[in-house]
Amino acid sequence: MTRTLRRGLAVAVVVAAGASITAESAAAAGQDRAATGSLIAVMTKYYLAGTPLLHQSDSAGQAFVAEVTRDCPGLLDPSELSTSQLPVANALNLEAGFDEYIREFDVPFRAANRTAAAAVKRLRWSNPAITRMIQKVPANFAYVASEQPTDACADINAAKAGGFTQVPAATKTLLAQVRGIPEPPSWRTMLDKLQPFITGRELAAVRRFIQIYDTWFRAGAKISARNSVRLDQVLGTG
């Protein structure tokens, strides 16, 4: 083989390899943009559909506070308990708070959580680390969609009858479940990681998503804070 022919073949191989890498990069970039666009579309739909559900959230929180007012008011007031009773009372206070949240934000959103979880679970990015990060979102949704509220007042009254010496089994179970909830990063963190795949048309979609999410989050935070304050007051812990 002549030197010229050998050089020509080498150049051809390099060009072909470069074309292959370029094609793979283009395919990966297209996959990443498509997955990011789908994620934004799914979550925009989720929070748009969730905004009207906040009325149900507020009603559920108020109903729970009314239930506590009727069935176990003032029973966790630390001034009425001894130091040895406080650990049990604190666990029950956590249970009541989580119970309120589950009734407010998990129960009304169950169908929406399951739908969003199924849609996001299918998405994949070329970077496995990004895929793992985003998959914490459907894992969280699927988990909370299955959460069940306890009967906090029944547990509080049972603990009181026993002198607040033992944490009820249902309380322990709920607190263990809550500790096991998969927690995705904040949307700000996730969008920062996805920023390279957000260009052109996607920018407007992301801005709209952020606006809708912020509106939902602020409204939900107000509901949660208002009902939590009322719950603490009724239980004697506020």
The DSSP secondary-structure symbol of 103 reads I
Between these two residues, 21 and 118, which has the higher pLDDT value?
Answer: 118
Mean pLDDT, residues 201-230 taken together = 95
Within its chain, how far is the Cα of 161 from the centroid?
36
Render pLDDT for 173-198 as a digit per residue (tens, 0 to 9).
999 998 889 999 999 999 999 999 99
CA dihedral 136, 137, 141, 143 (to 10 degrees): 10
Confidence class of residue 204 from pLDDT cuts 50, 70 and 90? Answer: very high
Mean pLDDT, residues 129-148 taken together = 94
Residue 14 has pLDDT above 60, yes or no: no
- Residue 238 has a pLDDT of 86
CB neighbourhood size of 61 (10 A): 22
- Please state the length of the chain: 238
Could you tell me the pTM of the whole model? 0.82
Confidence class of residue 30 from pLDDT cuts 50, 70 and 90? Answer: confident
Residue 7 has pLDDT above 80, yes or no: no
Round the average pLDDT of the chain to a whole number and report it.
89
Q: Which amino acid is at 150?
A: T
Domain locations along the chain:
33-235
93 neighbors 235 (Cβ within 8 angstroms): yes
- Residue 26 has a pLDDT of 62
Mean pLDDT, residues 152-164 taken together = 97
Mean pLDDT, residues 134-162 taken together = 95
